[in-house]
Structure 1
Amino acid sequence: MQDEITKHSRKIYKTLKNSKKPIIEKSKEIFIEIFIIVFSVTLSIWLHSWTQEKHQQKEAMEFLIDLKDDLNKDIESMSKKKVQLSEAIKQYSYLKNLTKERIDSLSNKKQGIDIAVSYVIRKTNNGNYEGFKSSGKIGFIENKKLKKMILEYYQEDVPSTDEAEKYYNSRLSKIEDLIFQDKDKKKKFLDPVLKMSFGVVIQIAENNKRNYDAVSKDVREIINEINREEKK
């Protein structure tokens, strides 16, 4: 491009220096050369912008395809944690409703009372998102609706879900402290503090299950929107 501009600039200079040509003819030739320069520069800028935009779109689509895999893993992870929470609700509901008579009956039959404390350990698959965001390329996603959905998921849904899981685990820790106190079985499982803790954990578990459902729904909508982008 630089060579072309230089070549046409020299023609303009030669035309100006040529004293044998009439002014009208000079003006026509100079106008043509200037037009060629302006057109060439404009075309070059347009081609560069078009190429850059195509490259950005390609990068964005590659990111979205990788992100879709991450999102599917997140849905699977939340589904597994829902099962875990359902089992916890069933177990703690049973323990919460234990009566003195039921505990005596189990003792007479020499049956133990099973209890497990299973913390929710889950990690969001956010490596691709964090890498793309930190490189400043989120703006490459031209679909504004999709971009907004992705940002809301990682900046709002994920942090709130993490906090809900942390709170659930903190309440489980309270239960763990209570059940390992040096008390006899009857006194331990009739302890109103422990029963209240079971009730709190059950409620939190129910809330977290509903949250997993809501977030999973949002994630599926993101995946569906990515699928639509792939078909364009």
Structure 2
Amino acid sequence: MAELEVAKSTKKIIESAKNKEISFWHKVKEMALEIAVIIFAVSLSIAFHSWSETRHEQHEVESFLKGVRIDLAKDRAEMSADIKAYKNQKKAFRYLGSLTKGQLASNDSLQHYAPYFYNFTGYGGNTGRYEGFKSSGKIGFIENDALQNSILDLYEEKIPRLSISTDFYKMQKLKFADYITDHTTDYPNGNLTKVMASDPIKTRSQIYLSAVNQIISNYEACIAQMEEIIKNIDSEYPPKK
């Protein structure tokens, strides 16, 4: 439509310029009027295009944020379960670290805590939606600066910090398992209770306790951030009841 108006006005300007039957000032008035029409048509077209583009961007933002809300609700539940697992691991390693010199580990206690000595717990992460939106350069479309910053802080700061701490813990736990395997003979009736009460195991266990505390703290920071983001998204896009 704008292109048609521009074409019409341009044609009229040319016709006015060639018309020898009208005065110079009349030509100026007619040409000025048509130029004004052209400017208005172009400005209107630009404004409409901008509005349409912004509307499309905000539709993408809405779809992204509603999806992130679902992802974070799942992640929050997963992280809450992970925290419980790490608290159990904390109890297991606290037991080993508290054994006195010369005291053997209890078979019953080892059997009770066995799953926590060797199993690994880590955040799987539903980050695909965020990574896709970020890689397409659309994070800047989120007009709520506080919400945008909160999302960036979670995915670029808090979750990577959590992953670093859990990866380090996993690496140390593998060394712990290797030490037990290398020094245990005639399993399960051999010297396992002695190995589990040895100084290297007690020292490693005490280190794990502090590592687990840090990991739990990182989990809790992520959950708090997720709850803040969900709350902000709910305020903009109330969930359907």
- In structure 1, stretches of 5+ residues that fail to align are none
TM-score (norm 2): 0.87
Structure 1 residue 175 displacement after superposition:
2.0
Query: For residue 163 of structure 2, what is the aligned residue in structure 1?
Result: 162
When the two chains are superposed, the root-mean-square deviation of aligned CA atoms in Å is 2.0
Query: For residue 63 of structure 1, what is the aligned residue in structure 2?
Result: 64
Q: Is the Cα–Cα contact under 8 Å of residues 150 and 222 in structure 1 kept in the other structure?
A: yes
1:113 aligns with 2:110: yes
Structure 1 residue 135 displacement after superposition:
0.9
Q: Is the Cα–Cα contact under 8 Å of residues 97 and 205 in structure 2 kept in the other structure?
A: yes
Amino acid at match of 2:184: D
Residue pairs, 1:1-232, within 5 angstroms: 1-99=2-100, 103=104, 113-114=110-111, 115-116=114-115, 117-180=118-181, 181-183=183-185, 184-230=191-237
Q: Is the Cα–Cα contact under 8 Å of residues 174 and 197 in structure 1 kept in the other structure?
A: no
Amino acid at match of 1:188: V
Distance 1:102 1:165 in 2: 31
Q: Is the Cα–Cα contact under 8 Å of residues 175 and 197 in structure 1 kept in the other structure?
A: yes
Distance 2:159 2:192 in 1: 40
Distance 1:91 1:173 in 2: 16
Cα separation, partners in 2 of 1:124 and 1:186, compared to 1, 3 Å:
closer
TM-score (norm 1): 0.90
- In structure 2, stretches of 5+ residues that fail to align are 186-190
Distance 2:175 2:25 in 1: 96
Amino acid at match of 1:182: T
Cα separation, partners in 2 of 1:136 and 1:186, compared to 1, 3 Å:
closer
Q: Is the Cα–Cα contact under 8 Å of residues 57 and 141 in structure 2 kept in the other structure?
A: yes
Distance 1:213 1:113 in 2: 29
Q: Is the Cα–Cα contact under 8 Å of residues 61 and 142 in structure 2 kept in the other structure?
A: yes
Aligned residues: 227
